[in-house]
Amino acid sequence: MKKFGVYECVDENMDVVYIGSTSLKLDWLENNHRQWQEKNYSGTDFRIALAEKGEEWTFRWAEEPRNVTREMIEIIEGALIRYVRPRYNRSQYPYERSVHEGRYQKVV
């Protein structure tokens, strides 16, 4: 089973500006976000802000990677997003969004 974790990005004031989940190593994930233009990734509000003013922003684990399903980690991610209310998270319900977009079937 793949390990999944929840990461957060904090600004220079240690305010959480973004929360996400991943199965990647944290340094790879940070590189993906910071180098999004060179990799032809989409320019989300978070990635644009990171490029414009996030040089000092730090990525860290909110929930260390562990052996859980992607569905479970997205449910945990959503709870953290709704609790913390980061500035650049559009969706507060990543699990429901994944189901809606067809990434997987709803878990009963």
At the fourth CATH level, the homologous superfamily of domain 3-100 is GIY-YIG endonuclease (3.40.1440.10)
Domain definitions of the chain by residue range: 3-100
pLDDT at 13: 96
Structure confidence by residue, pLDDT tens digits, 55-89 = 999 999 999 999 999 999 999 999 999 999 999 99
Structure confidence by residue, pLDDT tens digits, 18-34 = 999 999 999 999 999 99
pTM recorded for the entire structure: 0.90
SS (H, E, C) the chain: CCEEEEEEEECCCCCEEEEEEECCCHHHHHHHHHCCCCCCCCCCHHHHHHHHHCCCCEEEEEEEEEECCHHHHHHHHHHHHHHHCCCCCCCCCHHHHHHHCCCCCCCC
Of the listed ranges 6-10, 12-16, 39-43, the least confidently predicted one is 39-43
